Structure formats: C-alpha cells, structure tokens
Structure 1
C-alpha cells in the first residue's frame, strides 16, 4: 500500500506539473509586451489562484505553477503590474480555499466560519497571514476603492467566484451563527472589492471525470486525503509540497513523532464522506449545487477562457484527443469526449 501511495503521489504531482509547465510556458513565450500604463483606468493588483493539487509559485523545488521554468508573475511584475500568486489548500473545498485567499490578501487568521466549521466538523480557524494587500477595500487617495483582478486556473476559477460572492453577498448562515463582533468581514457582505474575475480552463459546470472517479473508486476522497496528509511527514518547517490541511488537524507539528502524526491523520473527520472537499465541488452534481447560489455580481467583469485539444471523430461523433495531447491526459480526455449531457455515450 505504501508503494502504491508513493506511485500515485508521483503521478498526481506529475500531472499537475505538466499542466502548469506546458500551456503556461507557451503562453509566456508567445505573449506580446503590454506594459502597465499610468493612463489606464486602474492599476489594481492581479491575484492568480492555482487549481487542484496546485501551489502558489515556487514551493515545489523552485518550479513555477504559473509559468513552469519561467515565472509569469515575474514577467508581469517587470511589465509594471502588481501580481500575487497565493498558495491555498491543494485538495480542500472551494469554501475553505476562498477563506484562505481572503486572509492571504487582507491579513489575519483564516476564519472558515462558525456555521461552516461546525457543519463539517473541522477547526474554525487556520493559519495566520501578514497580508499582502491590507488596503483592499479601503479608499485610495483619489477616493476610489482599492480592488483586485482575480484570475483562477482550473478549480481556482471556482474559488475566486466564491470569494467574490461572499464579499458581495455575505453568508446568511454565518451571520446567524456568529456574534456580530466575532464574524469575519468576508461573511458580512456589501463589499465591492473585486473588479474582475477571469477563469482559465475552469470546470464551471463540473467535470465528468470527477463523477466517474466517484463511481469507480467509492473511497477516492479518503484515499486522496490520506495521500496528501501522509505527504506531510516531510519536515513541516520546510515541506516541498504543502497540502494545507491544518483545519482538519493534519499538520505535522515540530517534534511530533510519525506514529503520533499517523494516529492524528487516521482519527480525523476528513476520513468521513464529507462534501467539504475538492472532489465533490468538481463533480457535475457538486458544481450544480455550487452554481445554485454562487452567481455573477452586477459590478464585476467576468471572463472565461476555455481550452480545447480534441476534435470530432467522424464515425462516433465523439470528441477525441488531438495528436499533440500529452499522453497522461489521453484517458480522461477520451472519457470526457464520450459524454453527452453528462451521460456515457
């Protein structure tokens, strides 16, 4: 089992790295230079949020999620833009990731919400961040409000949509469950702090692959969660890849023995079939539930960029992979291409 976990871990990380390196390196190499201008309508910071099994910038042996062996963040910074590439939970739910993104920007301790944390059985508070953009939402010198442009890749697109929803509309459940003096600003609503939301290759209506995996591997949630937690046995002071499962009690503390850490992992609520998890959010059913309350805000510009590396097969009329597709994506591509209105064939 241990060998199997290591093999699966290598495959998952390889998939993520390849997805990060090839498309984005190509985009970086082919992008024209558009230097930020002082005459533009705004100079709001750009916040780029990674997807499933992703990372912020160079945590993984110096490899850039945004750009691969080159840094898209550095490229844009050199062109005069302010760019942030936060690291949020790699396999956790969009709700938890949105709360972490908010704390990363504004600073302070992550608050997952009184109602939410009780409902799903994890800690209410997470890590503490210094805040890279503490003036977010405050008045600028010209009287305008400091805002951000949000860009999300894959699952990151759902995450930024959710944070925008919470900022603007708040959470009735959190307001009802939390004393007024103890609630995060994220849940209060009324905050028009986002200028634009751009989703890149985001499964906004879910992925048939996630649904199929749930049918084939009923315990896939527990397996992936265990994989991430077990990877945390790397020295927590300098992990090469951090799954950020602190709210589930899965952070390896300094001096903690492997035996004690393993017992903590095995007794966690994450082993239950929770819907507070990435895999549920990415299924068509989970995304339908997500879209039922996460909507487009009237004062925010929305952009969605899709990608396609398939073509129609003349005999089956299914979408099949193009010749240049990375071999690691062939199986999932063929399955997705054979789906019609979320049904096989």
Structure 2
C-alpha cells in the first residue's frame, strides 16, 4: 500500500496542521529525503488555532483538491504522524465538507497535459509544460513583493537563484530536479489514477461527519453536453468548462480502473 503521507497532499496537510497549531512546518525526514527538498518550512510563530485538539475539534471545508488534503490530514492525525505531537487523533476533525471536491480525481488534469495512460507523467507538448516553466522561473527570480502577493508553495525546494544558481536553473528546466522531476506536485494526485491510490489508503471515522456537495455548470442540448450559461460562468473559465463537457477517455489508453465510465465524471 502506498504511503499516502508521501504525496503532495501529505505536504499540504502538514502545512495546514502547523498553520493551525503553530510552529515550524516539518515535512518529515522520509518525505524530504525521497523528494529531495528541505525538511523544514515556514515558521508559524503564532498558530491560528493553537487550542486545537480532540476537545476543541475543527469543522473543515475543502474545495477541489482541498477536500483530498483534509482527508489526508485526518489520517495523519489518527496515525500520530506529527513529530512532537503524540496526542493527535482522528477526533480532532469534527466534520469534513467537500465543495466540488476532487475526491475521485478530475478529468481536467488530462486536458491540461497529464497522460491518461498512467495519470503520473506529463505530455511533452501541453499547457502543463508551459506552466511548469513559468513556475520554475517565478520561484527562481524570487521577487519578494511577488512572492508575498502569491506564493506557489515550493519554497522548501529552494529553487530561488540565491540557492539554485544558474546551473540549478538549467537542471530544473531540463527536468532533472525540483518538484516536477520528483512528482511532488498537485496534478498527479488529482488524476483519477492518483485519487484511487490515495483513497485506497484513507479511512473514514465514526465520530466525524462527512458531507460532499457536487456542483454542475452543464446541461444537455440535443444530446450534447454544454456549459449551462454564458453568464453564470466566469469568461476565463468558460472554455475550460466546455472542454470538460466533451471529455472522453482515449480509446487506446487503458481505463483508470475496472468498470470506469466517462460519464461518471
């Protein structure tokens, strides 16, 4: 069984834990060694809810990948996976509400460039390859006011020019190092295959309430699925919704799992 704590959802779960409790984010010795990044991250000197425990549990609301992250976080709490916190338990989570949660993955990943054959690797020519280059350059130039405005969450890979240098940048761009080389980024866990692997390692717990709200912005016209409204969808997202309406799993690629039906997604 795959150690679900080693995926990117485990990274985000750790960051969420320390964001609430306070302290220096500890990504874990094993994860840091396997994926080749610093073990420690941001220091939350003052947690946003330091009293958090089984007597002061939390209601979590997760959108899209956030729903996956909270499920992994609860599993880590149950397994007491946070060093120095031996009293954690699954009862620290009172409820988990998913809003359009990608609990079973999303076909959007394949449109962006993940290979439907394996759900782990990127197509050579794709939107994701362009975004990969943009992310690397954004972190490498390391402009403070931009990073303060929007941090992509890869600081623990130390891709900034002061650390990586020019040769480090070349290595990153060639795919020899960094999160995209190791697979320690979000899209592999958001494919249908990646979600299946994660779900196989996750439990639900009797003292936690679970809710999942699915949303839809499509309708059928003459048997064809199309976006439901020009005005109800942000213009920048309309094309992406239209693409998702038309998704069909490639006939020459093996299905993500036995019994897969494209219209379930």
**161 and 264 in structure 1: CA distance in 2 versus 1, 3 angstrom threshold:** same
Q: 2:242 maps to what in 1?
A: 334
SS at 1:215 equivalent: coil
2:103 is aligned, of 190, 199, 204, to 204
Q: 2:13 maps to what in 1?
A: 98
Q: 2:208 maps to what in 1?
A: 300
Pairing 1:135–2:51 present: yes
1:241 is aligned, of 150, 161, 170, to 150
Q: 2:254 maps to what in 1?
A: none
Q: Show structure 1 runs of 4+ deviating over 6 A.
A: none
Cα RMSD for the two superposed structures: 3.0
Q: 1:190 maps to what in 2?
A: 89
Equivalent-residue separation in structure 2 for 1:201 and 1:261 (angstroms): 40
Q: Quote the offset at 1:234 in angstroms.
A: 5.1
Q: 1:40 maps to what in 2?
A: none
Q: Residues 279-327 of structure 1: CA distance to partner in whole angstroms, max 9, x if unpaired?
A: 10111111111111122222111111221110123334xx311123333
Q: Which moved more, 1:102-111 or 1:291-300?
A: 291-300
**170 and 199 in structure 1: CA distance in 2 versus 1, 3 angstrom threshold:** same
Q: 2:123 maps to what in 1?
A: 218
**330 and 290 in structure 1: CA distance in 2 versus 1, 3 angstrom threshold:** same
SS at 2:24 equivalent: strand
**248 and 166 in structure 1: CA distance in 2 versus 1, 3 angstrom threshold:** same
**Structure 1 alignment gaps of length 5 or more:** 1-91, 139-144, 175-182
Equivalent-residue separation in structure 1 for 2:110 and 2:239 (angstroms): 15
TM-score normalised by structure 2 residue count: 0.74
TM-score normalised by structure 1 residue count: 0.58
Q: 1:60 maps to what in 2?
A: none
User: How many aligned residue pairs are there?
Assistant: 230
SS at 1:195 equivalent: strand
**234 and 251 in structure 1: CA distance in 2 versus 1, 3 angstrom threshold:** closer
Q: Residues 163-221 of structure 1: CA distance to partner in whole angstroms, max 9, x if unpaired?
A: 111112345xx9xxxxxxxx3538x8535211111111111111112023213952566
1:236–1:251 Cα contact (<8 Å) kept: no
Q: 2:76 maps to what in 1?
A: 166
Q: Residues 57-84 of structure 1: CA distance to partner in whole angstroms, max 9, x if unpaired?
A: xxxxxxxxxxxxxxxxxxxxxxxxxxxx
Equivalent-residue separation in structure 2 for 1:202 and 1:289 (angstroms): 16
